[in-house]
Amino acid sequence: MIKAGIKKEFMLFSRGFRLIGVIITIIGISLMYPLLYKSMEMMAGQIADMGQQIGGEAQDQVTGAVDSINGMMSSLEAMYGGSMAAVGFKTGVSSITSTGFLIISLLLMATAGGEQKKRSVIIPNCAGLTPAGYVLPKFIVYPLVIGVLSFLGGIITGGISNLIYNNELNINDIIFSSLCAAIYMLFMTALYFLIGLSTGRPGISVIIVYGGSTIIPILLQSLDIDRYNPFTLQSLLMSSYNDADMNNFMLSTVVAFILSVICCLLALMIVTLRRVDNTVGEANL
């Protein structure tokens, strides 16, 4: 039953816009930031050349605009170790875990409990679909696939940044940050499916999980307990491989996997105890 469920989830994921949408989202974000900062550098140079050709008072205004752009770029370089490649890479990978996760969670609403409201579980239930056959394939397919695609997205971001900035990035930094992003996305996807499958309301689950991913790290940091948890991976990905706290990374990774498994078991327990009311199309306790 579980093997058939995995096959079904892969088919549902690959058909339609879900898988394509996830891939487009991750690749789009991966390419956007390195190319954005490179285009800003090129634009500043072109504007400076244009100002020299214009001359007069207009040249002073153009020079001021160019200085403003260059000042902003210099500030970003200083924040990321003096490398524009690092600026494009780190902001790109960080955006995969924030904006990317929001878009992906919206794309997966139908599979994260949405089918309970659309009565899509009527026929499988009649055919003998068990709670384990319904829940476990989702936790096997979606968190793992999203994690792998996020890792590849980080690698793409690092590769593009190195390509347009003449190999300024260390391969260890690229792999480390991409791995942090992948593990974080795996955990967040598992957490999202826990809430979505448990409530049957994926729209509310998106709000809860995305809002929590913003508020919880701030609370943990204010309480000085922002280490050894999955949310610290989002901060660690901004560090270089040589400067990162590897003990924090390893323990946070272990905690993320353990909590992901707990999310799966909790979702299975809740779905087993719940009754899906197919007569009204709502999931009720």
Selection from 259, 111, 85 nearest residue 173 by Cα: 85
Q: Which residues pair with 283 in a beta bridge?
A: 276
User: At 105, which helix (H) or strand (E)?
Assistant: helix 101-107
pLDDT tens string 158-205: 888 888 887 678 888 899 999 999 999 999 999 999 998 888 887 888
Residue 109: which of 189, 29, 39 has the closest Cα? 189
Has residue 90 got a pLDDT over 70?
A: yes
- Decide: 197 and 113 in contact? Cβ < 8 Å: yes
Give phi and psi for 275, each to the nearest 5. Answer: -125, 125
How far apart (Å, rounded) are the C-alpha atoms in residues 268 and 261?
11
**Which of 49-58, 143-152, 205-214, 267-276 has the weakest average pLDDT?**
49-58
pLDDT digits (tens, 9 = 90+) for 105-156: 998 888 887 776 655 554 455 556 677 788 888 899 899 999 999 999 999 9
DSSP E strands in 40-190: the ranges are: none
Distance CA 38, CA 165 (A): 8
User: Distance between CA 177 and CA 158 in Å, rounded?
Assistant: 9
pTM, entire model: 0.83
Q: Which of 72-86, 138-152, 213-227 bottoms out in mean pLDDT, i.e. has the lowest?
A: 72-86
The predicted structure's pLDDT at residue 283: 44
Residue 133 token pair? 């056959």
DSSP 8-state symbol, 100:
I
Q: Which of 171, 283, 183 is nearest to 233 (CA)?
A: 183
Q: How far apart are CA 164 and CA 41, in angstroms?
A: 11
Q: What is the mean pLDDT of the chain?
A: 80
What is the secondary structure of 56-80 as a DSSP string? HHHHHHHHHHHHHHHHHHHHHHHHT
